[in-house]
Amino acid sequence: MWNKIHLKLSFTIFSLFIGILILLSIVLNLIFTNFLSSKVHDEANELAAHLSTMLEEQGNSAEQMADFTGVQMYILSSQGRFIESKTSDASIYPNYIWDNRKLLEGKKVEREFTFNNELYLLHGIPVTTNPTVKGIYVISSLENMKDSIQTIRNLLFITGFGALLLALGCIFFLSKRLSNPLLKIESATRQIAKGELNLEIPVETKDEIGSLSQAINDLAKELKQYRDNRSEFFANVSHELKTPITYMEGYADILAKDLVENDEEKKKYLQIISEEARRLNVIINDLFELSKMEEGKIDLKLMSVEPTSIIQRSIDKVQLKAQEKDLTIRSKLSPVPHIFVDSNRLEQIILNLLDNAIRYTAEGYIQVSLTSELEGVVISICDTGPGISTEELPNIFERFYRVEKSRSRAYGGTGLGLSIVQSLVLQQGGTIHVESKIGEGTRFKVMFPSITSSSLKSHSFKI
């Protein structure tokens, strides 16, 4: 029960509130107590001084005034004895409350004392103008002050208790409101862990909890996309692996059983087996390349490279494949500065992009250009293929992703080529961007920083 977050949160806030309330009650109690006590003392002191003046000037009028105000007045003679009065008897009070010596010395006396379970205030005022009287004591009850303080304390207690109950309800409500999104997030993450990736947490706020909810929604979408792409990837790879193996197995079986009619047919079957073996080798190499990139074990031999010859050599290698589809490869290679790359990996990047363009272009041409811009050397490869939709464009560099899923097997490939290209470009300090329009074609733009003779030494030193 106590493991629930809303209870922990409620208990923490409630404990803090109680602590603040107790401190506030203590402070308020001290303020009101000191205020009332000071006020009563000042009034009693003022009354005692007034009675002292009346005693000096009018004699018996002081006693009448004392009776009227409800206080007891005791007169101290010059010999240090109390002058008997009809209205007061000093002997009823304990001796320790009096301080006759101090009063005879002309000093004031002020103290509180308890008698018969009641609180009293004693004031002693010296008298200097009367030779027979040295001072008077005035005793007033503090019970009214005690009652007032107790009333204030009761009000503070009732108010504090009411505030406590109100705070408890508010804190519990707010804790539940704050913890409910976390409970929804917990439930969602458990469903994600079970493979239920179609859920979506409602984002009700724009605070950290709302941001966390959105992040989990994004995670679920990415996991779903990854799972779907992986499933499709395995299906495609299985098909791509199965097809050449089936051909190789079938024609090898024919050759093993000597079912061929002549040497020409035998040569044809051997040629098919060789082509399928090469196709199988390409698929395996792509998978192996991807595995090395994921583990960070790819080796790069960076050096100063003039890219024109590498691009031209790559074009020559794919020229035959383009001619088989009646495609023209156009090139415009301008003189550019050297770039600091691995020449073999650069050729692999260009071959992959050219092969991708040829695969998806049914008719038209492929344009290859090399230019120098302010940011660096730009290699651009454009095709006149079907193009890529805006929705799919951000995903084409993801591993296992295939554009035109319904026709993916017809186009061939494993969906790894562009992912490998992007990884190779980034690891060599370059950037790659893609632009595409449906029905017009696609353009890949690869850029590497150009180097000067002075920066070349710096790059070589770092490597």
Question: Are 149 and 32 spatial neighbours (Cβ–Cβ below 8 Å)?
Answer: yes
Looking at residue 452, its pLDDT comes to 62
Fold of 208-295: Helix Hairpins (1.10.287)
What is the percent of the chain with per-residue pLDDT over 90, rounded to a whole number?
17
More confident residue, 196 or 85: 196
pLDDT at 132 over 80: no
Looking at residue 236, its pLDDT comes to 66
Q: Residue 260 — pLDDT band, cuts 50, 70, 90?
A: confident
More confident residue, 176 or 1: 176
Looking at residue 230, its pLDDT comes to 73
More confident residue, 209 or 98: 98
For 327-368, the pLDDT digits (tens) are 999 999 999 999 999 998 899 999 999 999 998 898 999 999
Q: What is the mean pLDDT of the segment spanning 180-204?
A: 79
* Spatial distance between the Cα atoms of 361 and 382, rounded to a whole number of angstroms: 10
Q: What is the mean pLDDT of the chain?
A: 80
User: Angle formed by the axes of helices 60-69 and 5-58, to 10°?
Assistant: 160
pLDDT at 185 over 90: no
Q: Cβ atoms within 10 A of the Cβ of 258, count? A: 7
Residue whose entry in the numeric block shows the structure tokens 């704050």: 178
Lowest mean pLDDT across 36-40, 249-253, 286-290, 356-360: 286-290
For 263-316, the pLDDT digits (tens) are 888 888 888 888 888 878 877 887 777 677 766 667 788 999 999 999 999 999
Looking at residue 446, its pLDDT comes to 96
Looking at residue 306, its pLDDT comes to 92
441-448: strand order across its sheet: 328-333, 365-372, 377-383, 441-448, 431-437
pLDDT at 460 over 50: no
Looking at residue 332, its pLDDT comes to 93
pLDDT at 122 over 90: no
Question: Are 78 and 131 spatial neighbours (Cβ–Cβ below 8 Å)?
Answer: yes
pLDDT at 462 over 50: no
Specify the CATH number of the domain 303-462. 3.30.565.10
Q: What is the mean pLDDT of the segment spanning 174-196?
A: 78
Residues shown for the chain: 463
What are 371-374's contacts with CB under 8 Å, separation 24+? 371/334, 371/336, 372/334, 372/335, 372/336, 372/337, 372/450, 373/447
More confident residue, 85 or 32: 32
Highest average pLDDT, of 162-166, 239-243, 397-401, comes from: 162-166
Q: Residue 380 — pLDDT band, cuts 50, 70, 90?
A: very high
Highest average pLDDT, of 115-124, 174-183, 400-409, comes from: 115-124
* Spatial distance between the Cα atoms of 227 and 233, rounded to a whole number of angstroms: 10
Q: What is the mean pLDDT of the segment spanning 433-461?
A: 76
pLDDT at 457 over 60: no
Question: Are 400 and 229 spatial neighbours (Cβ–Cβ below 8 Å)?
Answer: yes
What are the boundaries of each domain within the chain?
A: 5-149, 208-295, 303-462
* Spatial distance between the Cα atoms of 353 and 318, rounded to a whole number of angstroms: 11
Which homologous superfamily does the CATH classification assign to the domain defined by 5-149? PAS domain (3.30.450.20)
Q: Residue 149 — pLDDT band, cuts 50, 70, 90?
A: confident
Looking at residue 294, its pLDDT comes to 65
Q: Residue 402 — pLDDT band, cuts 50, 70, 90?
A: low
Q: Residue 407 — pLDDT band, cuts 50, 70, 90?
A: very low
384 CA to centre of own chain: 46
More confident residue, 238 or 368: 368
Cα radius of gyration rounded to whole Å, the chain: 50
